[in-house]
Chain A
Amino acid sequence: MRSLSTGATGMMAQQLNVEVISNNIANMSTTAFKRQRAEFQDLLYQNMRRPGSTSSDANTIVPSGIQVGVGVRTAGVYRINEQGNLNSTGNTYDLAISGKGYFQITLPSGETSYTRAGSFQINAQGQIVTVDGYQISPAITVPQGALSVNIDATGVVEARIAGQTNAQNLGQIQLATFVNEAGLEATGDNLFLETAASGQATVGNPNAVGFGVLRQGYVETSNVNPVQEITNLITAQRAYEMNSKIITASDEMLQTATRLR
């Protein structure tokens, strides 16, 4: 019975759907987390009667034929890059990107990684680093004795230093954009790597054409919408149940068939 295994593919797909939803909910409070969506596609079709073939009556052509599908498969899980809300924290080194772009981070291996999680800190050497201690690129060092650090919307970092009348320029924070953000590879810890699907990074200053602006003292929250996720969860659970009903019903039909005398 084909529908038995079709129902099974449906149950497997919904299980993966629930897994993706649960990861979204688990990361509801992760800074700049982008929710994911599981994508499904239909499986192969078996032609019982080819569309366009002639039917039993002469000269009549079957308009649509009988094609029976054999279920569903997972095509992929992809990221939804909608902007998250900006949350005020008041911390000097918290930066949120409003609009497009990623901060560039230098990994210990020397590789450049990308993130939108702008909850930065300074380390013992005064360098601006991520919560994991990786340096922002281009590197910016805050001198000792800085009274305050100001980062403007275009990424210019300035420090007010005791005994100096003018603010001292510390550097410029740059952002990277990608033609296809959805193609970035997530490596955990809020970090992403460039891939062939994302295209090469285009680096520029915040607030330039095609780049977002920086907001000091804010962090971008995750774009997970709890209500939506719960709704999706309910839908997925029901879909799972319905697919299991298909299996039960197919089983009963099979049972009926075996009772034939």
Chain B
Amino acid sequence: MENTTYIGLSRLSAMRREMDVIANNMANMNSNAYKGERVMFEEFLKGPNQQQKSSFVQDWGVLRDFRTGKLEQTGNTFDFAINGSGYLTVDTPQGRRYTRDGHLRMDGDRRLVTSGGHPVLDTRGRDIVIPEGLGTPAVSVDGTINVGQEQVAKIDLVHFENEQELRKTANGLFATAQDTVPAPPTTTLIQGMVEASNIEPILEMTNMIELMRQYQSTQGLIDSENDRLKMAIQRLGRASN
């Protein structure tokens, strides 16, 4: 009998989580290479038998929008934008992580590191060390780093069979247990540019407004259900007298 209320509540709590996701998208509107997210819902059927079914709503997963964000010119030697699908491999104390945030720098040991200080790896899984005194490194579209006449390393550009499975671990890094595959040849590395976030604020705003209205109307549904119940109990009470 109280299923209506519970169904309404399942929708309310799912919407609350959706709001959290929208808020995170909005907050990261200017984060380098941030990928927008959307909550997916599914119908969750529950009932004692096939005849009596209630349809609850459940937030089922987060769908990530992997489109490339707009590329912004910076002119810096160690800024790289990945044009197309692909990730840089990063070595962290927690294990390998992957990122598209190509704002790199050189640390005290002349290693190429992310803005978080984690070394970026080359195709052989080693740190990339920029040799001294040969001049400014030039990086070609396939990730080969040349300093002066010398080829130093090749930045490891990787790709995944299932990008949706990647798990975000803050600071623009992704974690996964999947095996990496080399990025397709259409993926290029552009030196002197960074990738901006792919958030479309108007879309997020519209989603947020819609969500709020739905939240309020679901609330209305619970309210009227509550009134209906109250009335039913009152009438039944009177009838039994």
Seen from chain A, the residues whose Cβ lies within 8 Å of a Cβ on chain B are 1-4, 6-7, 9-10, 13-14, 17, 37-45, 47-52, 55-56, 62-72, 75-76, 78-83, 100, 177, 179-183, 196-200, 202, 209-210, 235-236, 238-239, 242-243, 245-246, 249-250, 252-253, 256-257, 259-261
**Contact between B27 and A71 (Cβ–Cβ < 8 Å)?**
yes
**Contact between B177 and A52 (Cβ–Cβ < 8 Å)?**
yes
Which A residues are CB-close (under 8 A) to B59? 48, 66
Q: Chain A's interface: helix, strand, loop or mixed, by majority?
A: mixed
**Contact between A49 and B172 (Cβ–Cβ < 8 Å)?**
no
**Contact between A261 and B74 (Cβ–Cβ < 8 Å)?**
no
Interface centre among B31, B116, B204 (most CB of A within 10 A): B31
Bound complex: CA of A245 vs CA of B26, how far in Å? Answer: 10
Residue of B with least CB distance to A261 = B226
Bound complex: CA of A49 vs CA of B64, how far in Å? Answer: 15
Number of interface residues of B (CB under 8 A): 73
Partner of B106, one of A49, A197, A245: A197
Seen from chain B, the residues whose Cβ lies within 8 Å of a Cβ on chain A are 12, 15-17, 19-24, 26-32, 34, 37, 39, 44, 59-64, 73-79, 101, 103, 105-108, 110, 115-116, 130, 132-133, 135-137, 162, 164-172, 177, 201, 204-205, 208-209, 211-212, 215-216, 219, 222-223, 226
Which B residues are CB-close (under 8 A) to A242? 26, 29, 201, 204-205
Bound complex: CA of A249 vs CA of B171, how far in Å? Answer: 26
Which A residues are CB-close (under 8 A) to B34? 42
Also in contact, A17 and B20, with CB within 8 A (given A209-B135, A210-B135) = no
Also in contact, A72 and B31, with CB within 8 A (given A82-B73, A179-B137, A249-B19) = yes
Nearest Cβ on chain A to B127's Cβ, whole angstroms: 15
